[in-house]
Chain A
Amino acid sequence: MESLLNQLPVGLSIGAVLLLIALGLTFTFGQMGVINMAHGEFIMAGAYTAYMLQDWFHGQAVIVALPVAFVVAGTLGWILERAAIRHFYGRPLDTLLLTWGVSLVLQQAARDLFGAPNVQVTAPSWLSGRVELLGGNLPYARLFIMGLAAACVVGIWAYMNRSRQGRRMRAVMQNRELAAVSGVATGRVDQLTFFIGSGLAGVAGVALTLIGPVGPSLGTYYIVDAFLVVVAGGLGQLRGAVIAALALGMLNSYGEFWTDASLAKVIVFVVIVGFLQVRPQGLFVLRSRALT
């Protein structure tokens, strides 16, 4: 029983990491229908931003990097949206392949710029301790990531539901034509949405430096699971993403605990396919009269 409780914080922290990564996707995939395979590389860009800032800020680089990485990854995303993706709206499957090409280029670029071996970012010293939680040992770094994820969720919720810009974004997502004839500059909304979604990937990348080394293929480890979170949570649904990320984190952690890591992934897959039998469009669905 005690070891069962021990898995709870582990699952929570895996869930928090997944949530951070999936939050950006709820913007780009959920709101705009763009399957951005380069999202993983924006995560990588964020992580390398922290690595670069280390030269100036040493131990505190991670904190400084959070806003900087947001802007760096967001700008990368904005360029991608302007240069290519805006020609692809309404063709989600093609964006998947297009952005995969982009992700190949970015990965190789990182390999050429920073070298193929992994690099390390020093965590701030005040994050190096551990805390006793439910009988388990939880590093402060994991706790920090959970806090960061929670802060991001609150921030995004406020943005989407309490700001004018967020309302415009939701309007464009629900009915692009109607939003356009109502005077919303849909093109500008797209740019901003993509900027924020990509920027969140950068933030997630900085968070990942706290729990592991940084390498050119950092993003590829998480991207598949992150997409599953969005699928299970429902497109563009913030609460869906939160619940799905935590559930997936728990499933991963308990799956590994009861079987082993390799079977846990299969269990996660089977559970998600099973879940889609009950709710084919994810946990929460935006009601609409549209046919498809």
Chain B
Amino acid sequence: MSARLRGYALFAGVAALFLVVAPLALPAFRLDELAKYLCFAIAALGIGLAWGQGGMLTLGQGVFFGLGGYAMGMYLKLHDADGDLPDFMVWSGVEKLPALWKPFESPVFAVAAVVLVPVVIATLLGVLVFRQRVRGAYFAILTQALAAAFVILLVGQQGLTGGTNGLTNFYDFFGQDPEADATQRRMYFVAAIVLGVLYLLARQLVKSRFGRLLVAVRDGEDRVRFLGYNPATVKTITFAISAGMAGIAGALFVPVVGIISPSLLDVVPSLELVVAVAIGGRYTLAGAVLGAVAMNYAKTSFSEQWADGWLYLEGALFIGVMTLAPRGAVGVYEQVRDAIARRRKPVPAPSTASEVPA
């Protein structure tokens, strides 16, 4: 089998696992949890694109996740309120619907905003930052500061955003009860299919000329510039795409979990997403996705057993991965595969895995 065919067969196998086996084998409660992990995986896919392929360590994906989530939540809240003010606004003494909320009465606007608001903000930030060649650690710190500022803003503007509680208590999701098992099941399929489609699109992007350029920017930005390309454009576009993915993930998260709140978007959850990508293997998109699912699964099941221990385990896991296997689980797999291949052949074959500087 050619490598390409094998890739598609693998994808089909994983897709079948998620679309057929998991819904049949898992109870409704666990399936709903898996749907949540898939939402995180969509955001992780964006990080894999921006960080793994483009070398932009973005520590503020929670912001874009949140923008998508709040856009969806605002529409649902207004739909539930049916012309009145959403419940939390009444509690915080707001008397008139704020102008910011007005357009979200339209479902079309809300769904468009899920993607467009993160993309526009990421583009704006990208243009300002990348054009000035702010990169590496500076960029990482700026995105982290963005996440911190965003969360403080959300918490502070209680009447506008629901404060610490965020937006919750949704009763009607496009004509369905979001709590019902059947809806949850449907949401799972939606999340899985969206993830699959975005994964294929992202893979296509990585394989295209643009993808080559992106990796080239990661490995030698100045050389790319001397060849006549503009690295800032390449990075801005990629950053915007990854922000759009995070927005979609956030929007799906709202009906799946039933809440969007600042604590889900803070510095720590944003970092945890990056951690998941690193553990899965940042240099492949599949590594990013699988890392996010596995990591969140581990977190849930471990916290159920021994809540305090999770932080130790997460920290230790992370230190171990960064020191011993910076290419993550996928990297370990590739090393083992190459080692076996070498043993089979008497003459050591050159490694097929592309060498990536750490």
- On whether the two chains bind one another, the answer is yes
Interface residues of A (CB under 8 A from B): 29, 33, 35, 84, 87-88, 91-94, 96-98, 100-105, 107-108, 111-112, 220, 224-225, 227-228, 231, 260-263, 265-266, 268-269, 272-274, 276-277, 280, 291-292
Instruction: List, in ascending order, chain A residues with CB within 8 A of B154's CB.
Output: 262
Taking a contact as CB atoms closer than 8 A, the residue among B128, B133, B155, B322 that contacts A101 in the complex is B322
When the two chains form their complex, are residues B312 and A105 in contact, meaning their CB atoms are under 8 A apart? yes
In the assembled complex, how far is the CB of residue A273 from the closest CB belonging to chain B, in whole angstroms?
6
Chain B residues positioned under 8 Å from A274 (CB to CB): 128
- Known contacts A97-B278, A101-B316, A273 near B137 by CB under 8 Å: no
Given known contacts A224-B144, A273-B129, A291-B222, what 8 new A-B pairs fall within 8 Å (CB)?
A35-B137, A101-B315, A101-B322, A103-B315, A224-B267, A265-B149, A272-B142, A277-B128
Q: Do B156 and A93 have beta carbons less than 8 Å apart?
A: no
- Contact in complex: A111, B308 (CB < 8 Å): yes
Inter-subunit contact A100/B271 (CB<8 Å): yes
Q: Cβ of A93 and Cβ of B140 under 8 Å apart?
A: yes
Tell me which residues across on chain B come within 8 A of A102, comparing CB atoms.
315, 319
| A88 and B316 alpha carbons, distance in the complex (Å) | 17
Residues of B within 8 A of A231 (CB): 138, 141-142
Q: Which residues of B contact A100 (CB under 8 A)?
A: 271, 275, 318
Interface residues as binary, B123-157 with A (CB distance below 8 Å gives 1, 0 otherwise):
00100110011101110111011101110111111
* Contact, CB under 8 Å: B140 / A96: yes
Q: What is the 8 Å Cβ interface bit string for chain B, positions 302-325, against chain A (1 contact, 0 not)? A: 000000100110111111001100
Give Cα distance in the complex from A79 to B81, angstroms.
57
Min CB–CB distance A79 → chain B (angstroms) = 13
Tell me whether B311 and A266 are in contact (CB under 8 A). no
Contact of B311 among A97, A107, A262, A291 (CB under 8 A): A107
- Asked if B152 and A265 sit within 8 Å, CB to CB, the answer is yes
B319 touching A101, Cβ below 8 Å = yes
Determine whether B287 belongs to the interface, using a CB cutoff of 8 Å to chain A.
no
- 14 A-B contacts, Cβ less than 8 Å apart? A84-B323, A93-B136, A93-B137, A96-B140, A105-B312, A111-B308, A224-B267, A228-B141, A262-B155, A266-B150, A272-B142, A273-B128, A273-B142, A291-B222
Q: What range describes how many residues of B lie at the interface?
A: 35 or more
Chain A residues near B274 (CB-CB < 8 A): 97
Q: How far is the CB of A219 from chain B (nearest CB, A)?
A: 12
Q: How far is the CB of A226 from chain B (nearest CB, A)?
A: 10
CB distance from B125 to the nearest CB of A (A): 7
A105:B137 contact, CB within 8 angstroms: no
A225 to B267 alpha-carbon distance, docked (Å): 13
- Name the interface residues of B135-189: CB closer than 8 Å to any CB of A: 136-138, 140-142, 144-146, 148-150, 152-157
The reply to whether A224 and B358 form a contact with Cβ atoms under 8 Å apart is no
Known contacts A231-B138, A231-B142, A260-B156; A97/B315 CB under 8 A: no
Interchain CB contact under 8 A, B149 and A266: yes
CB nearest to B141 among chain A residues:
A227
- Known contacts: A96-B140, A101-B315, A273-B125. The answer to whether A112 contacts B308 by CB under 8 A is yes
CA distance A97 to B326 in the complex (A): 11
B141 to chain A, nearest CB (A): 5
Q: How long is the Cα–Cα vector from A100 to B145 in the complex, in angstroms?
A: 15
Question: B343 to chain A: closest CB distance in Å?
Answer: 28
Are A93 and B142 closer than 8 Å at their CB atoms?
A: no
Across the interface, do B312 and A227 meet the contact criterion of CB distance under 8 Å?
A: no
Chain A residues, Cβ within 8 Å of B132:
276-277, 280
The list of the 8 closest CB pairs from A to B, nearest first, reads A262-B156, A101-B318, A105-B315, A104-B315, A280-B132, A108-B311, A265-B149, A98-B322
Q: How far is the CA of A265 from the CA of B138 in the complex (A)?
A: 18
A203 to B318, CA, bound (A): 28
Interchain nearest-CB distance for B314 vs A (Å): 6
Q: How far is the CA of A87 from the CA of B325 in the complex (A)?
A: 13
Closest to A38 in B: B315
Flag whether B57 is at the interface (Cβ < 8 A): yes
The answer to whether B311 and A92 have CB atoms under 8 Å apart is no
User: How many Å from the CB of A104 to the closest CB on chain B?
Assistant: 4
Task: List residues of chain A with CB within 8 A of the CB of B128.
Answer: 273-274, 276-277
Using known A-B contacts A84-B323, A100-B318, determine if residue A266 contacts B153 with beta carbons closer than 8 Å: yes
Q: Would you call A96 and B57 a contact (CB within 8 A)?
A: yes
In the assembled complex, the Cα of A227 lies from the Cα of B138 at a distance in Å of: 9
The answer to whether A101 and B314 have CB atoms under 8 Å apart is yes
CA distance A280 to B138 in the complex (A): 9
Contact A97 to B322, CB < 8 A, known contacts A260-B156, A276-B129, A280-B132:
yes
Of the listed residues A33, A84, A97, A105, the one surrounded by the most CB atoms of chain B closer than 10 A to its CB is: A97
- Determine the distance from Cα of A29 to Cα of B221 in the docked complex, in whole angstroms: 22
Residue with the highest number of chain B CB atoms closer than 10 Å, among A84, A107, A112, A227: A227
Instruction: Check if B323 sits within 8 Å of A98, measured CB to CB.
Output: yes
Give chain A nearest CB distance to B309 CB in angstroms.
8
